[in-house]
Amino acid sequence: MGLFRRRKPLHRQLAEAGGLPQEFETGAATGLISQPPGWDGEARGEPGIHGVPRARRWDAVASATAPGLRGDNVHFVALTDGTLVVDEDEPDGALAPLADAVEASIPPPYRAEAVRRGPETWAVAASRIAIAAVPGLSGDRVELVVTRDGRTLTVDGRTTLGHAPALERIGQAEGTEYVVRAERLDGDLWEVEASPL
């Protein structure tokens, strides 16, 4: 009975055949593959290659038949009362089939984007959002940052000395230090996103 002995382990033979540099064999890899998760827990590396999943962008994806739409793409926000706030100029009621398709998976409020896939066929995707009434606030985009060093309110890119009590209440639910970003939807209704710092 003879003994079979390889000169190199199989993993090294495969690495050489695949053209991988030697540092992958020794564990001294550099670049994206060697980066550990960040302090925020976000995985590093290239999605789809190193076992890092792609970031999830949509909470619901569907297709629908919507014959009344004119353009090739449309963006809208569905409010809790069923009202649709549309970015493009489309006929009243034409977006109802898109909203119905999304609402089979998630309830309002949500932000949606639809793309034409055929003469009357559309692909529509939506993400859940939070909406709040913020009276007395000017501008279209607002950011409130509160830290132990103070607070900063930015309206449409300009720092202001004003107050936004409704946004402060939303941020306080996240902790003592937070950031709240808001975008006006319609009148005093704002899409809000709050995160602790």
Cα distances (Å, whole numbers) of residue 52 to 92, 131, 155: 42, 31, 36
**Phi, psi at 5, each rounded to 5°:** -135, 130
How many other CB atoms sit within 10 Å of the CB of residue 50?
A: 12
Same domain, 152 and 173: yes
pLDDT value of residue 25: 47
Among 85, 110, 128, the domain boundary falls at: 128
Please state, in angstroms and rounded to a whole number, the distance separating the CA atoms of residues 176 and 163.
Answer: 17
pLDDT value of residue 144: 94
Residue 108: cis peptide before it, omega within 30 degrees of 0:
no
Q: Is residue 119 part of a domain?
A: yes
* pLDDT one-digit tens code per residue, 135-177: 888 899 999 999 999 999 999 999 998 888 899 999 999 999 9
Residue 80: give the domain boundaries.
60-128
Q: Is residue 38 part of a domain?
A: yes
Q: Is residue 1 part of a domain?
A: no
Counted domains in the chain: 3
Q: Is residue 3 part of a domain?
A: no
Among 78, 100, 128, the domain boundary falls at: 128
pLDDT value of residue 155: 93
pLDDT value of residue 108: 94
DSSP code per residue over 132-168: EE-TT--SSEEEEEEETTEEEEEETTEEES---HHHH
- Write out residues in the chain with pLDDT < 50, as ranges: 1, 24-25, 29, 32-33
90, with CB counted inside 10 A (0-12, 13-18, 19+), is middle
**Phi, psi at 14, each rounded to 5°:** -65, -40
- Count how many Cα atoms sit within 13 Å of the Cα of residue 5 in the half-sphere of its side chain: 3
Cα distances (Å, whole numbers) of residue 60 to 28, 65, 67, 96: 41, 17, 21, 16
Q: List the beta bridge partners of residue 64.
A: 122
